Amino acid sequence: MIYLILIFFLLILMLSAAVYAVVQKDLLYAVIATGVISLVLTAVFYMLQAPDVALTEAAIGVALTTIIFLITIRNTKRHEDDYNKKDNLKSPLK
Amino acid sequence: MKKFLVILILAVLGFHLFEAFSGLGLGVTRFEKGVKDYYLEKTVSELHVANTVTSIVVNFRGFDTLGEVTVLFLAVSAMGGILYKRRHQTGDRSVLFSSSSIVRSGSKLLFPAIILLGVYVFIHGHLSPGGGFQGGAIIATGFLLMLIAYENFSVSHNTLSYIESFAGIFFVGIGLLGFMNGGTFLQNFLPAGVLNNLFSGGVIGIIYVMVGFKVAAELTGLIYTILHEKD
Amino acid sequence: MVGSPVLLIAIPLLAAFVIPLIGMIWKELVRIIPGLVLAYMLILSATLLYYVSYNGTIVETIAGWQAPWGINLVFSPLTGFLATLMSALGFLVWLFSYRFKRNVDFEPAKKYFIFLMLLIAGAIGIVITGDIFNQFVFIEITGISAYALTAFYTGRNSAEASFKYLMMGAMASSFLLVAIAILYSQLGTLNMADIASKMHTMNPTYKIIALIFFITGIGIEAEIFPLNGWAPDAYTEAPGPVGAAFAGIVVKAGVYAIIRMIFTLFDVPGAYDFLIAIGLITLIVAETSALRQEKLKRMLAYSSIGQMGLVIVAFGIGTHEGVFAALFLMLNHAVIKPLLFFSGSSLVFNSKKKQIAEMNGLGKRMPLMAAFFSLGAFAIVGLPPFAGFWSKLSVLSAAANEGLLLIIVLILIVSVIEIVYYFRVVNRIFFQEYSKEQSVVPHRPRINAMVAMFVLAIAILIIGFYPDAVTGILHNAAKDLMNTDQYINNVLQLGQSLTR
Amino acid sequence: MDDKLFEILEYGVYGASILLILIGLYAVLTKRSLIKIVIGMSIIDGGIHLLLITIGYLKGGTAPIFSPGYEEAAAQMVDPVPQALVLTAIVIGFGVTAVALSLIIRLYRHHHTLEIDEIKRLKW
């Protein structure tokens, strides 16, 4: 019972993270949201009795993918468009 | 306008996909004697590998895994070519964060533990969840941590490519050995051992360790390549 | 037996892992080993094809697990024919580009031959594997090598072309995975023969959904009309020999995958008509686009897409003659288009813009290259004594036997378009005056490139004057594709096991 | 109560994975930023992986790993095949993503922008 409700909660969290990742103009937050999707997927895989896949997703999806996205953003630019130039200066990545 | 069109197309697509999957039922046994049952039976009775996913990945569908490590190898090589610059400035690396001393000493402390965990995961790939991919990826995260924390931490590119090549050669070589011993490619030619022992499963454990080395070297090389990129 | 089909995949992969090590000892080996491997693959596949045409299909199991459970490789007259064709072309592409960027310190050049070798190994894998997920893995191997080769030059356009190709390729692989998920959830198996034997139990609606996902996924490799946006850019921006490899090898693998799906796996009514429809649309759109192109390689790329459309139309006729004609077209295209790419890229080698307008009067400056190019042009439009004539004739006669008049008319119209744009180039080469303003300086290809072109030219002439040299193999292959039951039997019951 | 929830879950999990695929496709088809397109790609991948794992799930099943003394437990195990496929697909997807991102870095080097409209020189 509590297990099923937890899965529901996770799925809803995952979908909202996905929507957030798509609509967010700030690419840094979008990438973090993508990482959240992977993190939730890890939990869901574990609950669906796939520990091998959960381990892989945790190492590759959550850590490595997020990091290479971050490096790319660091080397290119942070915003989807050039409207918020001011914000760009405050970037913790710079 | 374009967005509406896209949403319309996606709605149609989603409807049909949902139609194809909703009739399936969740968590029901779909096939009386499917491929699954055969694998579950043979992994205990013939291969003596406790983790069925490992026996599928390395043995039943080992060819896929060979292709997969090749894909990673290709990805690393391709990135090296794509990010190549004529005037080669080495030495300066883009720094993700200017890390504090807490991060530094923390990484130093964690690094051996992460490597150990990775090695444990791929050595016990045939007994417990995990294996070459997972262990390799975990080791790569350890190196990633060090690369982020220490600006002058560097991995020898040659060493990585040695490890990668040797692991790859071993993988294909073991496959060819099985082939030459009168069997087929990737066939198990070592004694299978006892289920749930460390030395069980014949070549499966060896191949998965090789995959672990290879994946670790490839993923570390991949991150190293992209991290070295600076405008 | 000299070997087994698995070596066609295992040896190139082994070589790919060995080359980085050996390259540290002597750099030249990085160039030589891929050539040796490709030559070995050519010899092996040709011998196996010879063996197969007398003794029946070889089914090779991997790791000792029989067909529905393990992965298996099927080396039949059809797949063997394609594998031989691909390794032969691969060897010629290697030969042509052997001295490519040899004396320049150019980092990607060291990896060029590894990518080329794995591109060909991946394409052969797509053809000979008997498992859909394994096919997906090989499609990814081919894809990543192709992206890397497209981004070979460090210019801006090549990266863009490569990114476009990668985007479409990634979409394709996602769609393929969805299709695999549908099939696995419905049938519980991944083996092609097993799927084919169980397909009748599947709900027709799901079947069509899965087929659409499959065709969208593979259609990107096969350059079907709405999905071929990547092709002209990739062909234009990639080095010349790579364009030849794409046209001759990668596309063939994609077409094979579609054909295997429709002929063997899915028994969907109307699939053949669907093939004819998409083939005709691809043909017409591509050929009319080719007419408007100003860059030589871009024109060749559209022409190649058009030829693939014609191949798909011929397969869609669905009879033995149709399949035979389609295979004949594939063979001819694989022989002629590389020659056009090789000689064309030599003709515009020294020009900045690679445009057709710059080719005025090159016939006198580079007579041999111009002769090769015109030979290829004559052959591909289907002038009588050359190779292309026979294949086009067999398509027309196959369509006539089925009473498909519309197809005949359209193919004839398209042939006229083809003649117009190829002869426009030939006309410029031979009958226009060379002007000083043109930047093109004659370029003399090296001996290895000349040999590669000579081989292709001789092949065109042989097929043209003596088509019976190949029709036997093609008839065998066509028979093999049409006979679904035999395929299922061969794979699932190991009708003829491997004797070593 | 539990059964009813489980029934809803059936539609929930399939629906969520398909929605994830659609959200990703939407991003790929409409977004103008190259990085957003690659993010969309990885969202699609996640959806497909969840879909495959869901197909293999068995109600009340255990992970397909034999522990000592439970060698007869095969009947209650979830399907290991989709798990193996997803394992392969995750690694392949990561490789493709990495290549895509390095191409983006190179495009940015030449164009100093990530907008697809400004980069698009070649005709479609």
- Determine which of D19, D79, D97 to mutate to test the interface with B (most B C-beta atoms within 10 Å): D79
Is the Cβ pair A59, B54 closer than 8 Å? Answer: no
Q: How high is the pLDDT of residue A81?
A: 66
Of A51, A55, A64, the CB nearest to B219: A64
Query: Looking at the domain assignment, is residue A30 inside a domain?
Result: yes
Alpha carbon of D65: minimum distance to chain A alpha carbons (Å): 10
- Provide the pLDDT for residue C305: 92
Which residue has better confidence, B44 or B99? B44
Residue D7's pLDDT band (cuts 50, 70, 90):
confident
pLDDT at A13: 94
**What is the reported pLDDT for C497?**
44
| DSSP codes joined into one string, D73-97 | GGGGBPPHHHHHHHHHHHHHHHHHH
Res. D123: pLDDT tops 60: no
> Contacts of residue C147 in chain B, CB cutoff 8 Å?
78
User: Which of B36, B60, B78 lies nearest to residue C65, judging by beta carbons?
Assistant: B60
The reported pLDDT for the residue numbered C115 is 93
Residue whose structure tokens are 């895509």: D100
Contacting chains of A (3 CB pairs or more, <8 Å) are B, D
- The average confidence (pLDDT) of chain C is 87
A and D: number of Cβ contacts within 8 A: 136
Q: Is the model's pLDDT at C281 over the cut of 80?
A: yes
Q: How far apart are the first and last CA of chain C?
A: 6
Q: Does D88 contact C at CB distance below 8 Å?
A: yes
Does the structure show a pLDDT above 50 at B21?
Answer: yes
Chain C residues with CB under 8 Å of D122 CB are: 157, 160-161, 164, 233, 236-237
Would you say residue A94 lies in a domain? no
Best of D76, D91, D104 to substitute, by most chain B Cβ atoms within 10 angstroms, is D91
Which residues between 70 and 89 in chain B have a beta carbon less than 8 angstroms from any beta carbon of chain C?
70-71, 73-75, 77-78, 80-82, 84-86
Task: Please give the Cα distance from A11 to D16 (Å, whole number).
Answer: 7
Q: Is A89 within a domain?
A: no
ipTM: 0.92
At residue D124, the pLDDT reads 43
C60 has which bridge partners?
C73
Q: Residue D95 pLDDT more than 90?
A: yes
Q: What is the pLDDT of residues D45-72, one digit of tens each?
A: 999 999 999 988 888 888 888 887 777 7
**A64, B53: Cβ pair inside 8 Å?**
no
Instruction: Name the residue with tokens 């059809």.
Output: C78
Summarize pLDDT for C63-80 with one digit per residue, the tens.
888 878 888 899 999 999
pLDDT (0 to 100) of residue A88: 45
DSSP class of residue C499 equals -
**For chain C, percent of residues with pLDDT exceeding 70:** 94
pLDDT band, very low/low/confident/very high, at C293 (cuts 50, 70, 90): confident
* Total domain count, chain D: 1
Average pLDDT over residues A74-90: 60
Residues 134-193 of chain B with CB under 8 A from chain D are: none
> Residue C475 has what pLDDT?
92
pLDDT class for A93, splitting at 50, 70, 90?
A: very low
Query: DSSP for C444-465?
Result: ---HHHHHHHHHHHHHHHHHHH
CB-based contacts of C18-24 (< 8 A; 24+ apart in sequence): C18/B165, C18/B169, C19/C113, C19/C114, C20/B161, C20/B164, C20/B165, C21/B161, C21/B162, C21/B165, C21/B166, C23/C110, C24/B158
- Tell me the mean pLDDT in the region C296-300: 89
Average pLDDT value for residue range B88-107: 68
- The beta-carbon neighbor of A72 closest among D9, D50, D104 is D104
More confident residue, C289 or B189: C289
The closest alpha carbon to B137, from B191, B213, B71, belongs to B213
The two tokens of residue C226 are 């709405």
Cβ of D99 within 8 Å of Cβ of C190? The answer is no
In a domain, C10, yes or no: no
Which of D121, A68, D124, B75 is closest to C146 using CA atoms?
A: B75
Q: Which of B73, B86, D100, B71 is nearest to C150 (CA)?
A: D100
Write out chain C residues lying below 8 Å of B24, CB-based: 185
CA distance C395 to C400: 9
Q: How far is CA B219 from CA B57, C166, C491, in A?
A: 19, 20, 37
C405-431 vs C367-381: helix crossing angle, rounded to 10:
170
Domain locations along chain B: 62-83+97-231
Is C17 inside any structural domain? no
Flag whether D touches B (3+ CB pairs, 8 A cutoff). Answer: yes
With respect to residue A40, please indicate whether it lies within any of the assigned structural domains: yes
Mean pLDDT on B129-133: 86
Q: Which residues contact B150 (CB under 8 A, 6 or more apart)?
A: B99, B104, B107
Average pLDDT, integer, range C370-397: 89
Give the pLDDT of residue C500.
Answer: 33
Residue C415, domain member (yes or no): yes
Is-contact C129 C140, C-beta < 8 A? no
Residues in chain A, total: 94
Q: Do B78 and C4 touch (CB under 8 A)?
A: no
**DSSP annotation string for C359-418:** GTTHHHHSHHHHHHHHHHHHHHHT-TTSHHHHHHHHHHHHHHHTT-HHHHHHHHHHHHHH
pLDDT tens column, C249-276: 999 999 999 999 899 888 888 888 989 9
Q: Best of D51, D53, D59, D88 to disrupt the B interface by mutation (most B CBs within 10 Å)?
A: D88
- Chains contacting chain C through 3 or more C-beta pairs under 8 A: B, D
Asked if pLDDT for residue C376 goes beyond 70, the answer is yes
Q: In 3-state terms, what secondary structure has residue B213?
A: helix
Rounded Cα–Cα distance for residues C218 and C207 (Å): 16
Contact C205 B19 (CB under 8 A): yes
Contact A52 B134 (CB under 8 A): yes
Question: Is the pLDDT higher at D28 or at A4?
Answer: D28
| Residue C156 distance to chain D (closest CA, Å) | 6
Contact (CB<8Å) C64/B64: no
Tens of pLDDT, residues B200-217: 778 888 899 999 999 999
C187-198 pLDDT, tens digit per residue, is 888 999 989 988
- Residue spans of alpha helices (H) in C225-319: 230-237, 240-245, 251-260, 271-291, 296-317
CB atoms C151 and B183 under 8 Å: no
Distance CA D56, CA A52 (A): 14
Confidence label for C361 from pLDDT (cuts 50, 70 and 90): confident
Residue A31 maps to a domain: yes
* pLDDT confidence of residue C424: 87
Which chains touch B (3+ CB pairs under 8 A)?
Answer: A, C, D
Do the Cβ atoms of D102 and B225 come within 8 Å? yes
Look at residue B93 in the predicted model and tell me its pLDDT: 55
pLDDT over 70 (residue B95): no
Using pLDDT thresholds of 50, 70 and 90, give the confidence band for residue C88.
very high
Give the model confidence (pLDDT) of C48-68 as tens digits: 999 998 888 888 888 888 878
- pLDDT over 50 at C498, yes or no: no
Token pair listed for D94: 């990561």
Lookup: tokens for C256: 């094979």
Q: Note the pTM of the prediction, 2 decimals.
A: 0.94
**What pLDDT sits at residue D21?**
94
Contacts C71 to B, Cβ<8 Å: 60-64
pLDDT over threshold 90, residue B186? no
Q: Is residue A91 part of a domain?
A: no
Q: What residues make up the domain containing D68?
A: 2-119
Task: Count up the domains in chain A and report the number.
Answer: 1
Residue D1 has pLDDT above 70, yes or no: no
Least confident of A5-9, B199-203, C94-98, C434-438: C434-438
* Confidence tier at B139 by pLDDT (50, 70, 90): very high
Question: Could B137 and A60 be called an inter-chain contact, meaning their C-beta atoms sit closer than 8 Å?
Answer: yes
Percent of chain A with pLDDT over 70: 85
Touching chains B and C? (3+ Cβ pairs < 8 A): yes
Q: From the CA of C491, how many Å to the nearest CA of chain B?
A: 16
Residue C36 identity: L
pLDDT band at B198 (very low <50, low <70, confident <90, very high): confident
Mean pLDDT of C399-416: 90
Cβ within 8 Å, pair C160-D95: no
Contact map slice: D 14-53 vs A, CB within 8 A = 16, 19-20, 23-24, 26-27, 31-33, 35-36, 38-40, 42-43, 46, 49-50, 53
Q: Which helix (H) or strand (E) holds C59?
A: strand C58-61
In a domain, residue D124? The reply is: no
Residue position matching structure tokens 């693959």: C41
Is residue C223 pLDDT above 60, yes or no?
Answer: yes
Q: How far is CA A38 from the centre of its chain?
A: 6
D71 interfaces chain B, CB cutoff of 8 Å: yes
Whether A45 shows a pLDDT value over 50: the answer reads yes
Of A61, A64, A72, the CB nearest to D35: A72
Query: Is it the case that residue B185 has pLDDT exceeding 70?
Result: yes
Tens digit of pLDDT for each residue in C36-45? 999 999 999 9
Judged against a pLDDT cut of 60, whether residue C431 lies above it is answered with: yes
Q: Which domain holds residue A59?
A: 2-79
Residue in this structure with the two tokens 């000299």, named with its chain if needed:
C2
Q: What is the chain A residue with the closest CA to D52?
A: A45
The CATH number of the domain holding residue D101 is 1.10.287.3510
- pLDDT band per the 50, 70, 90 thresholds, residue B136: very high
Instruction: Tell me, yes or no, whether A37 lies in a domain.
Output: yes
Nearest C-alpha neighbor of C173 from the set A50, D36, D88, A44: D88
Is A50 close to D104, i.e. CB distance below 8 A?
Answer: no
Query: What local confidence, expressed as pLDDT, does residue C355 receive?
Result: 78
Q: pLDDT tens, C109-130?
A: 778 899 999 999 999 999 999 8
Give the model's confidence band at A94: pLDDT under 50 very low, under 70 low, under 90 confident, else very high.
very low
Helices D2-30 + A2-23 axis angle, to 10? 10
> What integer is the mean pLDDT of D4-9?
78
Whole-number pLDDT of residue C125: 94
